Chains A and B, each alone.
Chain A
Amino acid sequence: MSGVFSPSRAKIKERTLRTDKWWLEPAITFGVLFSFVIYATFRAFEGANYYAQHLISPFYSPCLSEACVPEATMFGWTPVSAEIFNFALSPALIILIFPLGFRMTCYYYRKAYYRSFWMSPPACAVAEPHKTYTGETRAPLILQNAHRWFFYFGLIFNVILTYDAIISFKNPEGEWGHMSVGSLVLVVSSTLLWFYSLSCHSCRHTIGGRLKHFSKHPVRYKIWSWVSVLNHSHQKFAWYSLLAVAFADIYVRQVATGAWTNFYFF
C-alpha cells in the first residue's frame, strides 16, 4: 500500500473525492491527440498527394527524397534515396522526427500526454494507477531534456514552411501575385507555428531566462518579457498550430486528389 493509501495517511478508500468532471479534459486531450497520431501516421506512410498547384503539405516539407515530386523539392535538392533496404521510403518519414520530437518533448504536451495517455496523474488529486515512479530521471524520459535541440531544428522548419507559404502566392501557371484559399491555409499554419515556437519555454530560457542579472542585459530582458507574454499562451498555440498543420495537410491532400478545388481570390 503506497500513496494515498499509505498506513499513516487518513483512511479513505476512494482514489479521489473530486466531484467535478475531472476526467473530461484528459479524455478530450486523448481523443484529439490520438486522432492526430492516427491521421499523421497514415499520411506519413501514404507518400503521395502532398503537392498541388504550388501548395506543399507541411508534413512533406522540406521534401528531401529522390522520390519527391520535382516541384515540391527545395531548389531540386534531393539528398536522400527513395528506397532504404529495398523499401520505398515516404519523404515525410525522413523529416518527421524533428516536428514530432519538438512536440513530444514540449513542456505543454508533456503535461497533456502524461495526464491523458499515461495517467501520471490523470488529473490533480486523482491517484495514479502506477506502483512506482521515477519521473524524467531515467531513459527514455530523460531524453525530454533534448527539447531545446528540437526547438532549434523547429526554427529551420518554420523558415521552410514560411517559404512554402510565400510560394503559394503563385497561380497554377506559376505567375506571382495570386492568392488562393490554399495560400491562406499555409500562411495561417506557418504563422501559428512561429507563435508556437517563439512561445516555447526553451526559447524563453535561451532568450533571457538563463540570465542572473536582467539589469545587465536590458535588450535580452526586453525580448524575454515579450517572449514571456507569448509563453502565457503556449498551450493555446500548441493546439492551434497542431490543428492548423493537420488542416493544411488535409487541404493540400484534397486539392491534390481533385476532391476540392483550390479557389483563387485573385
Chain B
Amino acid sequence: MARKLNLRIWRGDATDGGLKDVQVDVNEGEVVLDVIHRVQATQMGDLAVRWNCKAGKCGSCSMEINGKPRLACMTQVASFDENETITVTPLRAFPVIKDLVADVSFNYKKAMEVPAYEHPKELAPGEARMEQIDVERSQEFRKCIECFLCQDVCHVIRDHEENKKSFAGPRFFIRIAELDMHPLDTLKNRKRKAQEEHGLGMCNITKCCTEVCPEHIKITDNAIIPMKERVVDIKYDPARMFAGILKREKRN
C-alpha cells in the first residue's frame, strides 16, 4: 500500500543550488532510487540522476542519503522511520554537475596513474599458471564495482581538495595491493610508488572506506594496511635494511 514520503532533494549545479522538499508516494519494498524516479516522472521532469543496473552492480547511482554515501538502488526506504524525511544529495567529495550527478572524472585520472600489471618476460601469453589460493587473495579486490563511495567518504580528499593531486584514494589502493600481491607481477617499486606517488602515507586508517563499501571489501584490513606494512618492509624497517646491506656486501 502506498504511503507518502517526505523527501529533500538537492537541486542545482556548480554555481548554486539547495535542498528542495517534495512529498512522493512510496510502495512497500521500494528503494530510494525508485522514489527518485517517481519524483522525476511526476514532479521534477528535469531532475538529473545517474543510474543504470538497479541491482547494485554498476555503481552508477552513488549519492549521499541522509548524509551517508550509499547506492540509491540498494537503500530500502523501509530502513528509515516512516515519519523521517530522507535527504538525498550528490557525492560531496566531487564537483557537482547537476542535481544528483557529480563529476567523478578524478577517479578515472587516478586509475590511469596506477602502473598496469607487468607480465614476466620469460613467460609467453598463455603459459602463465597460478594456484587457486593465490587467485583467491585478489578476488576480493576484483569485486569492486567502482561506485567510488570509498573515494567520496575518504576525508583525505573529501575535506581537503588540495590533496587530490597527491592522493589516489582507497579504490586505487586496492588495485595497487591486488597487483603487488599478484605472484606473477614483475613491476619493481610498486610499494615505493604507492607511498611516494599515490599518497598511501596520507591514509590514517579511519576505515570509512570499508564502512561504505557496498561489496563489503575489507579495503583497510586487506589492502591498505597490508600495503602500509609492505612499505614498512622497504622503507622503515632497520633490521631489513641492515640485512639488505649485509646481503649486498656478501655479494660483492
Chain A interface (Cβ < 8 Å from any Cβ of B): 2-4, 6-12, 16-20, 107, 110-111, 114-115, 120-121, 124-128, 130, 132-137, 141-142, 145-148, 201-202, 204-205, 209-210, 212-215, 221, 231-232
**Stretch in B22-30, B107-115, B206-214 touching the partner:** B206-214
Q: Give complex CA distance A115, B66 in Å.
A: 20
Report whether B202 and A137 are in contact in the complex, using a CB–CB cutoff of 8 Å: yes
Q: B127 contacts the other chain (Cβ, under 8 Å)? A: no
Residues of B within 8 A of A12 (CB): 10, 19, 89, 92
Residues of B within 8 A of A132 (CB): 160, 162
CB contact between A121 and one of B155, B201, B236, B237 (< 8 Å): that residue: B155
> How would you classify the secondary structure of chain A's contact residues: helix, strand, loop or mixed?
loop
Over the window 80-105 of chain B, the binary record of Cβ atoms lying under 8 Å from chain A Cβ atoms (1 yes, 0 no) is 00001001011011111000001000
A119, closest chain B residue (CB): B155
Q: B74 contacts the other chain (Cβ, under 8 Å)? A: no
Report whether B17 and A10 are in contact in the complex, using a CB–CB cutoff of 8 Å: yes
Given A10-B12, A10-B90, A3:B202 Cβ within 8 A:
no
Which of A19, A146, A202 has most chain B Cβ within 10 Å? A19
> How would you classify the secondary structure of chain B's contact residues: helix, strand, loop or mixed?
mixed
Report whether B233 and A210 are in contact in the complex, using a CB–CB cutoff of 8 Å: yes
Q: B232 contacts the other chain (Cβ, under 8 Å)? A: yes
Given A4-B92, A124-B211, A214-B131, A148:B232 Cβ within 8 A:
yes
Over the window 153-176 of chain B, the binary record of Cβ atoms lying under 8 Å from chain A Cβ atoms (1 yes, 0 no) is 101101111110000000000000
Residues of A within 8 A of B155 (CB): 120-121, 127-128, 133
Report whether B230 and A4 are in contact in the complex, using a CB–CB cutoff of 8 Å: no
Chain B interface (Cβ < 8 Å from any Cβ of A): 10, 12, 14, 16-19, 64, 66-69, 84, 87, 89-90, 92-96, 102, 130-131, 133-134, 137, 153, 155-156, 158-163, 180-183, 199, 201-208, 211-212, 221, 225-226, 228-233, 235-237
B222, closest chain A residue (CB): A228
Residues of A within 8 A of B17 (CB): 10-11
CB contact between B229 and one of A7, A209, A212, A215 (< 8 Å): that residue: A209
Q: Give complex CA distance A174, B96 in Å.
A: 74
Min CB–CB distance B85 → chain A (angstroms): 9
Report whether A114 and B206 are in contact in the complex, using a CB–CB cutoff of 8 Å: yes
Min CB–CB distance B149 → chain A (angstroms): 10
A136, closest chain B residue (CB): B201
Report whether A121 and B203 are in contact in the complex, using a CB–CB cutoff of 8 Å: no
Report whether A8 and B14 are in contact in the complex, using a CB–CB cutoff of 8 Å: yes
Report whether B14 and A3 are in contact in the complex, using a CB–CB cutoff of 8 Å: no
Report whether A19 and B84 are in contact in the complex, using a CB–CB cutoff of 8 Å: yes
Given A9-B92, A9-B96, A135:B158 Cβ within 8 A:
no
Residues of A within 8 A of B69 (CB): 124-125
Which of A12, A18, A120, A204 has most chain B Cβ within 10 Å? A12
Given A10-B92, A136-B201, A19:B134 Cβ within 8 A:
no
Given A18-B67, A107-B205, A212-B183, A2:B229 Cβ within 8 A:
no
Residues of A within 8 A of B12 (CB): 10-11
Residues of A within 8 A of B96 (CB): 8-10
CB contact between B162 and one of A2, A111, A147 (< 8 Å): that residue: A2
Q: Give complex CA distance A210, B232 in Å.
A: 11
Residues of A within 8 A of B10 (CB): 10, 12
Report whether B94 and A9 are in contact in the complex, using a CB–CB cutoff of 8 Å: yes
Report whether A133 and B232 are in contact in the complex, using a CB–CB cutoff of 8 Å: no
Q: Give complex CA distance A107, B222 in Å.
A: 12
Q: Give complex CA distance A231, B206 in Å.
A: 16
- Nearest first, the 6 A-B pairs at minimum CB distance are A215-B131, A17-B67, A18-B67, A135-B202, A124-B208, A8-B95
Min CB–CB distance B7 → chain A (angstroms): 13
Which of B16, B64, B180, B199 has most chain A Cβ within 10 Å? B64
Report whether B64 and A125 are in contact in the complex, using a CB–CB cutoff of 8 Å: yes
CB contact between A209 and one of B93, B95, B201, B226 (< 8 Å): that residue: B226
Min CB–CB distance A10 → chain B (angstroms): 4
Residues of B within 8 A of A3 (CB): 158-161
Residues of B within 8 A of A107 (CB): 205, 225
Residues of A within 8 A of B18 (CB): 11
Q: Give complex CA distance A204, B208 in Å.
A: 22
Report whether A110 and B205 are in contact in the complex, using a CB–CB cutoff of 8 Å: yes
Report whether A111 and B207 are in contact in the complex, using a CB–CB cutoff of 8 Å: yes
Report whether A16 and B133 are in contact in the complex, using a CB–CB cutoff of 8 Å: no
Q: Give complex CA distance A146, B96 in Å.
A: 41
Report whether B163 and A133 are in contact in the complex, using a CB–CB cutoff of 8 Å: yes
Q: Give complex CA distance A121, B155 in Å.
A: 7
CB contact between A214 and one of B134, B161, B163, B235 (< 8 Å): that residue: B134
